[in-house]
């Protein structure tokens, strides 16, 4: 596993400034946040500007192996949304992103829509995206979510969709904070996901709201067992922190915290 910090940790910096910030603190891996991806996407041709950003990041020793697709996209709404997300995927491929994290859509349906209909519609929409990825090594990773209307709160839900897609370009992203709020078992999720687990959002909370905190604070996720289970299944992707609960502090303090987070991760990996 490789320690990684989601780029939204420096959400107030532009993409190039964010790269320099990570380089200066010795962080070599990151998940490209939807905010930074949006900035790159708006610059123009995603293949051209993605390749330019990759060249810049590579020169500074920072590698984006994971990325988060637009959080506001409703993939079941219409074909224009699917076409837009395909361009996001073109951007990700150009940057070298191997794991593209996606939220399934529960917002394009009337409130009374049965879950199985939502699942079927999501499978149809996602298949258009995995078909677009065919022939590449980029995997669309479906994230476990929370809330009454979600259709992806458990590993059972996610595997139902991923197995129906039957594509090497479809996988799973575990968000430890979301799973904690859903009352599900982290180790069971990891074991059952197995080789379908291609991405991680590491975050903690106290079990009431999605606080997006660092491990070993006031949250109650057992990260030692999480790391142990990841080793058990041979997970070799990014151990990626997604912690917006920590990015509302002064920039100088965030720089200092990166040193602590690196040491904390070394401790976790050696427990």
Q: What is the CATH number of the domain that holds 258?
A: 3.20.20.150
Note down the domain range covering 8.
2-269
pLDDT of residue 151: 94
Cα–Cα dist 179/187, whole Å: 11
DSSP, residue by residue, 197-238: EEEEEB-B--SSS---BPTTSS----HHHHHHHHHHHT--SE
Closest to 204 (Cα-Cα) out of 245, 236, 238, 261: 245
Could you tell me the pTM of the whole model? 0.96
- Per the structure, how many domains does the chain have? 1
* 8 Å CB contact between 123 and 78: no
Q: If pLDDT is split at 50, 70 and 90, which confidence band does 237 have?
A: very high
What confidence tier does 72 reach under pLDDT thresholds 50, 70, 90?
confident
User: DSSP letter at 144?
Assistant: P
Are 242 and 203 spatial neighbours (Cβ–Cβ below 8 Å)? yes
């Amino acid at each position: 596993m490789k320690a990684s910090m989601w780029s939204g940790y420096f959400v107030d910096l532009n993409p190039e400034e964010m790269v320099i910030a990570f380089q200066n603190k010795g962080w070599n891996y990151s998940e490209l946040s939807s905010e930074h991806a949006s900035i790159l996407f708006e610059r123009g041709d995603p293949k051209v500007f993605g390749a330019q950003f990759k060249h810049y990041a590579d020169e500074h020793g920072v590698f984006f192996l994971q990325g988060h697709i637009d959080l506001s996209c409703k993939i079941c709404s219409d074909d224009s949304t699917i076409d837009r997300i395909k361009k996001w995927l073109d951007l990700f491929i150009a940057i070298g992103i191997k794991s593209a994290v996606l939220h399934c859509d529960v917002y394009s349906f009337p409130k009374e829509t049965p879950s199985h209909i939502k699942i079927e519609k999501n499978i149809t929409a996602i298949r258009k995206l995995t078909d677009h990825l065919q022939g590449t090594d980029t995997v669309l990773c479906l994230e476990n979510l929370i809330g009454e209307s979600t259709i992806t709160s458990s590993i059972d839900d996610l595997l139902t969709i991923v197995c129906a897609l039957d594509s090497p370009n479809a996988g799973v992203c575990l968000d430890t904070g979301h799973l904690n709020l859903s009352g599900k078992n982290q180790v069971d999720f990891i074991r059952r996901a197995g080789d379908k687990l291609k991405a991680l959002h590491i975050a903690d909370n106290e079990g009431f709201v999605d606080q997006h905190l660092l491990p070993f604070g006031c949250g109650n996720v057992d990260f030692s067992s999480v790391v142990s289970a990841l080793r058990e299944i041979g997970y070799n992707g990014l151990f990626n922190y997604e912690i917006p609960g920590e990015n509302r502090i002064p920039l100088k303090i965030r720089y200092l915290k990166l040193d602590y987070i690196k040491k904390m991760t070394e401790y976790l990996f050696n427990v």
